[in-house]
Amino acid sequence: MELIALNFYIIFLLIIWIDGDITNILSKTNITRKLFKRDAYKKYVEDVDTCATYPCYLYDVYPSFITKVLSCSICLTFWLTLILNTIFFYKFYSNNWLIELIIWFPICYFVNLFLHLTIKKLL
């Protein structure tokens, strides 16, 4: 049951980061506006790409491995699933956590990716 909740949490994170507008909500205060470079993002949207999302802006302006992972839904799904499932299986299956992770990781990854892309298509 906890594994199902974990996978829905991963899907929730993907939707609010990739498809949602969470940075607009978080950047209302002055502290987070500087952290998210909100003013530079608004200028980028006005000047360069009017349809750019914040993750795509990050990769266009600051090209690196981390920003590529943050802007790609397949990559972000892979890494979130790997990291959070590793923590989950290490915590709940301390004796055979690696075997459980090897068995369940591909299933969880494809389920998360399928559900995320399905919800994205519905939105």
The pLDDT tens digits for 17-41 are 988 888 778 877 777 878 888 888 8
Q: How many domains is the chain built from? A: 1
Residue whose structure tokens are 């499932």: 85
Q: What was the pLDDT predicted at 66?
A: 93
Q: For the stretch 94-103, what's the b/e string if a residue is b when 16 or more beta carbons lie within 10 angstroms of its beta carbon?
A: eeebeebbee
- What is the pLDDT at residue 115? 94
Q: What's this model's pTM, rounded to 2 decimal places?
A: 0.85
Q: Quick count: other Cβ atoms within 10 Å of Cβ 18?
A: 20
Tell me the residue range of the domain where 33 lies: 2-122
| Residue, of 38 and 73, whose pLDDT is higher | 73
pLDDT above 90 (res 77): yes
Q: Distance between CA atoms of 73 and 92, rounded to whole angstroms?
A: 27
For the chain, give the mean pLDDT: 89
Amino acid, single-letter form, for residue 54: Y
State pLDDT tens for residues 85-104: 999 999 888 788 889 899 99
Report pLDDT for 114: 95
